Amino acid sequence: MFVVGLQASRQSEIDKLIEKALEEAGLSRREVNTLMRVRVVGLTSQSYIPKSRPQQGLITIWNPTEKQQSELVEGQAYAVAGLTPINSDTSTIYLRARGCTTQWRPLSPLTIQHFQPFYTPRKAVSLLQMGEVPLSSEFDVAAFVIYVGVVHKSSQQKRQWVFVADGSIISSQPHELSDALLAISFCSPSVDCDSIVPINYNLVGSTVGFCNLIKCAKDQTNHIWVAEATDNSTYFLSYDGANSKHLKDAAASADQWAKASTLTIEKLKEKVSSIISGK
């Protein structure tokens, strides 16, 4: 009991010293705000013929309520109040709200019938279909991780490249490796702990589902597809959840291909090494 009490006393003294040092440095309080982002599209009445496709919106909800986190569902229509516009471009309106001041009222099935169809369920895109994805558009993919690169640091961010393949190109062109790879760029603020990397190196050799990647211009020199992961992007290793189940079949297909394609994967690794070395 004496030893435990002595350790507790020392720990208490250390905690007080740390609190004092933080206070003197102006860091006595550290506020962490949670946020969630919701991509939406404005509903169009059945009686209205639009001249262009409906503009999309990206709503950032600061400190979302537990109800919002659990009850906002893809494919559901809502009447939303309490939004503040931030910015816009040719295709997207950016809005902001605080969870406690934003009301999301689900529309009834009867009300939804008065609007044109607005929801296209998520689906996995194979590398064979990448040419059909518009530039700068979001897409989801399930693929086998060939290579996870080292983290390159700058003054403001860390950047890391991940190379993946799903076998869809190779199965149709067994003697070529062109377009068989997707290079994904991951970024994170450089203020993060040095031990934290955007993508864990242990993912090499795993089949991973990626959501909300942005298609970039193709690397015509190396004949590979390129994508960027934003702070709206996520990845999954299991596919039973509501946000990842659409990747399940594609992940199973990529995993099956990888298990039967050891030699091809080695060739893809060699191609990645050649790209990185600039040869």
DSSP 65-106: -HHHHHH--TT--EEEES-EEEEE-SSEEEEEEEGGG-EEEE
User: Does residue 29 fall inside a structural domain?
Assistant: no
More confident of the two residues 218 and 230: 218
Q: What is the SS3 string spanning 8-42? A: HHHHHHHHHHHHHHHHHCCCCCCCCCCEEEEEEEC
Out of 57, 78, 112, a domain closes at: 112
From the centroid of its chain, how far is CA 37? 11
Give the structural domain span for 226: 127-277
- Same domain, residue pair 169 and 135: yes
- Same domain, residue pair 105 and 144: no
Contact between 227 and 125 (Cβ < 8 Å):
no
User: Does residue 122 fall inside a structural domain?
Assistant: no
User: Does residue 238 fall inside a structural domain?
Assistant: yes
- Same domain, residue pair 89 and 219: no
CA distance 104 to 84: 14
Structure confidence by residue, pLDDT tens digits, 95-154 = 998 888 888 999 999 999 898 888 888 899 999 999 999 998 899 999 999 999 988 877
- Same domain, residue pair 105 and 169: no
User: Does residue 96 fall inside a structural domain?
Assistant: yes
4, pLDDT greater than 90: no
DSSP 140-205: EEEEEEEEEPPPEE-SSEEEEEEEEE-SHHHHHSTT--TT--EEEEEEEETTS-TT--SS-GGGTT
- Same domain, residue pair 179 and 53: no
- Same domain, residue pair 53 and 178: no
30, pLDDT greater than 90: no
pTM for this model (two decimals): 0.74
Predicted pLDDT of residue 123: 92
**Contacts (Cβ under 8 Å, ≥6 apart) of 12:** none
Out of 64, 81, 112, a domain closes at: 112
Structure confidence by residue, pLDDT tens digits, 50-104 = 666 667 888 999 999 988 888 888 889 999 998 998 887 777 888 998 888 888 9
Predicted pLDDT of residue 261: 92
Predicted pLDDT of residue 130: 95
User: Does residue 15 fall inside a structural domain?
Assistant: no
In the chain, what percentage of residues exceed pLDDT 70?
80
pLDDT confidence bin for 256, thresholds 50/70/90: very high
Per this entry, what is the length of the chain? 279
User: Does residue 194 fall inside a structural domain?
Assistant: yes
Predicted pLDDT of residue 86: 87
Predicted pLDDT of residue 6: 41
pLDDT confidence bin for 241, thresholds 50/70/90: confident
User: Does residue 118 fall inside a structural domain?
Assistant: no
- Same domain, residue pair 132 and 108: no
Predicted pLDDT of residue 3: 39
- Same domain, residue pair 75 and 200: no
User: Does residue 262 fall inside a structural domain?
Assistant: yes
- Same domain, residue pair 258 and 221: yes
Torsions phi, psi of 172, nearest 5? -95, -20
Angle at CA 85, nearest 5°, toward 135 and 47?
A: 75
More confident of the two residues 37 and 278: 37
Number of domains in the chain: 2
Q: What is the average per-residue pLDDT within 211-215?
A: 94
Predicted pLDDT of residue 29: 54
Out of 44, 78, 112, a domain closes at: 112
- Same domain, residue pair 103 and 232: no
- Same domain, residue pair 92 and 134: no
- Same domain, residue pair 69 and 160: no
Average pLDDT along the chain: 83
Structure confidence by residue, pLDDT tens digits, 185-204 = 998 765 555 556 678 889 99
